[in-house]
A and B are shown apart, each in its own frame.
Chain A
Amino acid sequence: GDSVTQMEGPVTLSEEAFLTINCTYTATGYPSLFWYVQYPGEGLQLLLKATKADDKGSNKGFEATYRKETTSFHLEKGSVQVSDSAVYFCALSDLGNNDMRFGAGTRLTVKP
Chain B
Amino acid sequence: DGGITQSPKYLFRKEGQNVTLSCEQNLNHDAMYWYRQDPGQGLRLIYYSQIVNDFQKGDIAEGYSVSREKKESFPLTVTSAQKNPTAFYLCASSMKGTTLSSYNEQFFGPGTRLTVL
B102: A residues at CB distance < 8 A: 29-32, 51, 93-95
Please provide the chain B residues from 73 to 117 with a CB less than 8 Å away from any CB of chain A in the complex: 90, 92, 94, 97, 100-111, 113
A104: B residues at CB distance < 8 A: 41-42
17 A–B pairs (Cβ distance < 8 Å), ordered by A: A30-B102, A32-B103, A32-B105, A41-B111, A42-B110, A43-B108, A49-B105, A51-B102, A89-B42, A89-B43, A95-B97, A98-B48, A99-B33, A99-B48, A100-B92, A104-B42, A107-B40
Give Cα A51–Cα B100 distance, bound, in whole angstroms: 12
Q: A34 at interface (Cβ–Cβ under 8 A)?
A: yes
Most buried by B among A52, A93, A94: A93
Most buried by B among A89, A98, A102: A98
* A-B pair number, CB within 8 angstroms: 69
Look across to chain B and name the residue whose beta carbon is closest to the beta carbon of A32. Answer: B102
Closest 4 CB pairs of A and B: A43-B108, A32-B102, A104-B42, A44-B108
Give Cα A21–Cα B111 distance, bound, in whole angstroms: 25
Residues of B whose CB lies within 8 Å of any CB of A are: 4, 6, 33, 40-43, 45, 48, 50, 56, 58, 90, 92, 94, 97, 100-111, 113
Residues of A whose CB lies within 8 Å of any CB of B are: 29-32, 34, 36, 41-46, 49, 51-52, 89, 93-95, 98-100, 102-105, 107
B108 and A45 form a contact (CB under 8 A): yes
Taking A46-B105, A49-B105 as contacts, is the C-beta distance between A98 and B41 under 8 angstroms? no
A105: B residues at CB distance < 8 A: 40-42
B45: A residues at CB distance < 8 A: 99
Give Cα A103–Cα B42 distance, bound, in whole angstroms: 6
A100: B residues at CB distance < 8 A: 33, 92, 94, 103, 105-106
